Amino acid sequence: MIPEAKLIKSEMVIRELALPDDVLLARKSMVRWLALSLGLIMPNESRTLLLDIFDALLEFHASKEKPTTKEIIERLEKTSGEKQNPKAVYYHLQRLTGMGMITRKKGEYCFGDGNGENLSEIFRDFYRSRTDSTFSNIEKALKRLENSYK
């Protein structure tokens, strides 16, 4: 038996979603649509902390700022008017870091390696590098399998 769970290095979900005009009318709708499309949340997800963090990271990026965890929490508290649980915020930041979507350097968070300005290129490069690596292994296995049938 193959120990499948030990072989999994990471998982990637990308959803092809329709982009109706009404989604483009509100920033919150666009953030939710992006998070769903990028596989950050599940359909019908009711919890919003990850969405709020993602929104804050996007806003910091647009301002060319690299926030610390404390600055992200302060932004969340300012926009929501509610006290935030630092452990929950840090959990989601760690999850995004673990995925490779954001990086943390000297306590500051940024998308990608922190050098890119164009978000669409940062996300495209992120997903392309992961799929290229995955398909390289798939190609190797397919070639070996194809040769085994000869």
Contact 111, 57 (CB under 8 A): yes
**What is the domain class of 50-117 according to CATH?**
mainly alpha
Q: Which residue has the tokens 């649980």?
A: 85
SS3 category, 99: helix
pLDDT in the model for residue 85: 95
What is the phi-psi region of residue 38: left when phi exceeds 0, alpha when psi lies from -120 to 50, beta otherwise? alpha
Give the other-Cβ count within 10 Å of 113's Cβ.
11
Contact 61, 119 (CB under 8 A): yes
pLDDT in the model for residue 8: 79
Read off the tokens for 97. Answer: 């870091």
Averaged pLDDT, groups of 10, the chain, 150 residues long: 77 91 95 94 90 96 95 96 95 93 94 83 89 93 93
Q: Which residue has the tokens 């070639």?
A: 143
pLDDT in the model for residue 150: 83
The structure's pTM equals 0.86
Distance CA 146, CA 60 (A): 49
SS3 category, 103: strand
pLDDT in the model for residue 2: 67
pLDDT in the model for residue 99: 87
Distance CA 70, CA 3 (A): 40
DSSP 114: S
Distance CA 30, CA 19 (A): 9
pLDDT in the model for residue 1: 59
Distance CA 91, CA 97 (A): 10
Maximum distance among all alpha carbons in the chain? 67
Domain boundaries, the chain: 50-117, 118-150
